[in-house]
Amino acid sequence: MDVGEELARSNEEFASTNKDFMHLGETRHPKLVVLACSDPRVAPKIVFKMKLGDVFDIRTAGGMAGEDEIASIEYAVSHPGVKDMACGGGKGEAPVGGLSGALDG
C-alpha cells in the first residue's frame, strides 16, 4: 500500500470511529494555544491529553514565532475560552530557552 492509499484508509477509519469528529465543524471552543517545535516525535494535543478542537496548535521549526505565527496566536486568543498559552520544545530551543531566561531573570 502506498502512502496515499494509507492516508485515505486511515482518514476514512478515523472519521467513522471518532465520535467527536462529526461535531468539530459546528463549534469551536479551544482552551489553549500552543507554540511548539514541529518535531514529529511530539504532538502537543497528545502530550497535554487534549481532544480535537481543544488546542490551537502552532508548530514551526524550532518553535520560532515570526509575523505569521504571532498573527495566528492573536487569532487564537481572540476566541472565547482561550485563556492560556504554552510554549514547547527541546531544552536548547529558542522558545524554551527564552521563556526560561525570562522566568529566571
38: CATH: 3.40.1050.10
In a domain, 3, yes or no: no
pLDDT tens-digit map of 47-77? 888 888 888 889 988 888 888 988 998 998 8
In a domain, 65, yes or no: yes
pTM exceeds cut of 0.75: no
Number of domains observed in the structure of the chain: 1
pLDDT tens-digit map of 10-50? 988 888 887 777 777 777 778 889 998 888 888 888 888 88
Which of 18, 19, 82, 25 minimizes the C-alpha distance to 54? 82
Which ranges in the chain belong to alpha helices (H)?
A: 3-17, 44-47, 67-77, 94-104
In a domain, 15, yes or no: no
Query: Cα-flanking dihedrals φ and ψ of residue 67, to 5°?
Result: -60, -45
Domain that holds residue 90: 29-104
